[in-house]
Amino acid sequence: MALTHATIPDAMMWGWHDGMWNDGHMAGWGSWGWRMMLFALLWMALLIALPVYAVYWLTTRSPTDGHTDDSALAVLQERYARGEIDDEEFDHRRARLASDDDRF
């Protein structure tokens, strides 16, 4: 065995003893292999999650998000329902809102 190592300096590389095929540097994934696999999985998850979230966001948002023209009338109706204003004031303000809409 000593003669083999002396005459062939790269003998360990070709499978003798603890060469590359016997728990050497090619035997397993090692820490770099697992990190590369984790990094690839994270990127795949990101590339799948972003379009899925975009489709979800576009399909679930309603066209009435934000202020609408009827928001003042809705507030007036809520105040009337809670009893904060009486019938006369409700009718007066509703007529005023209707006349404001006609001007635009």
Output the furthest CA–CA distance in the chain (Å, rounded).
113
Over residues 10-28, mean pLDDT = 51
**What is the per-residue pLDDT for 86?**
92
Task: Count structural domains, the chain.
Answer: 2
Domain that holds residue 103: 68-104
pLDDT digits (tens, 9 = 90+) for 51-72: 999 999 999 887 655 555 568 8
**What is the per-residue pLDDT for 73?**
87
Comparison of pLDDT for 62 and 7, the residue scoring more: 62
Residues 46, 6 within the same domain: yes
Nearest to 73 by CA among 89, 104, 97, 103: 97
Phi, psi of 75 (to 5 degrees): -65, -40
Q: Report the alpha-carbon distance of residue 13 to residue 25 in Å, rounded.
A: 10
Decide if 23 contacts 29 (C-beta within 8 A).
no
Q: Report the alpha-carbon distance of residue 97 to residue 89 in Å, rounded.
A: 12
Statement: residue 9 has pLDDT above 60: no
Residues 49, 10 within the same domain: yes
Residues 99, 53 within the same domain: no
**What is the per-residue pLDDT for 10?**
53
71-82 and 87-103 helices, crossing angle to 10°:
180
pLDDT digits (tens, 9 = 90+) for 73-82: 889 999 999 9
